[in-house]
Chains A and B, each alone.
Chain A
Amino acid sequence: ETGVTQSPTHLIKTRGQQVTLRCSSQSGHNTVSWYQQALGQGPQFIFQYYREEENGRGNFPPRFSGLQFPNYSSELNVNALELDDSALYLCASSLGGSGHYNEQFFGPGTRLTVL
């Protein structure tokens, strides 16, 4: 059983650029959640994908978008990057569906720096 992996580990972009972050979920999991963790803060929920459909969204603007693929891996896309987007982006996978509590397993994160 493989854990959650994320790529890249670090990324530097400039304002206005676009970025794509990737996440491979843990084997058997069908749900992926994305979080943004600014320095010194707790993770903030961006959105969740369940069986390739967006299944809830936090308080983030539309320039944050995502995808989930048939193998349940996922991408987070951020357009028109702003300085405040600099953060650690965390992906978590879980087994979703009725009756399942959402124990989420986290990847190591992607550290995004926007200059």
Chain B
Amino acid sequence: AQSVTQLDSHVSVSEGTPVLLRCNYSSSYSPSLFWYVQHPNKGLQLLLKYTSAATLVKGINGFEAEFKKSETSFHLTKPSAHMSDAAEYFCVVSDRTGNNRKLIWGLGTSLAVNP
């Protein structure tokens, strides 16, 4: 069975400093991995996805993530945090059993950006 673990429930950074949100996954096959962002009172938005192509994936708003099979990790990074990045971030792995492609979600990491 697939699972995903977000290693930090809360991360706080200063504006302009780098962001690192950590995610480890468990999968019995080559997974599809995603990062979603959820701003307060807004819907979930896909930041980026990994689907067995390039291991370094670039997403929206300057975010990127690197798939590291040897470490079973898919950490999300951004060189310089902006106030608008404050939100809840979810690491997600796809369960690809036949046509049933449900998403398995981490518990989320709350990112705070301080001025």
Contact = CB atoms under 8 A, between A and B. Distances in A.
Interface of A: 31, 33, 35, 41-45, 48, 50, 55-56, 58, 90, 92, 94, 96-98, 100-109
A33 B103 CA distance: 9
B107 A109 contact: no
Interface stretch (B41-49, B61-69, B70-78, B79-87): B41-49
Given A42-B108, A45-B102, A104-B46, 8 more contacts: A45-B105, A48-B101, A56-B100, A58-B102, A96-B99, A101-B49, A101-B101, A108-B42
Contact of B97 (A56, A101, A106): A56
B94 interface: yes
A96 B32 CA distance: 14
A35 B102 CA distance: 10
Contacts of A41: 107-108
Nearest to A54: B100
Interface residues of B, number: 24
B91 to A, nearest CB: 9
Nearest to B45: A106
5 contacts: A35-B105, A45-B103, A92-B103, A101-B32, A104-B46
Interface string B3-46: 00000000000000000000000000000101010000011111
B105 A42 contact: yes
B108 A96 contact: no
A23 to B, nearest CB: 12
Nearest to B51: A101
Nearest to B107: A42
A103 B46 contact: yes
A43 B92 CA distance: 10
Nearest to B50: A101
A43 B104 CA distance: 8
Contacts of A100: 101
Given A41-B107, A45-B104, A106-B43, A50 B49 contact: no
A31 B42 CA distance: 22
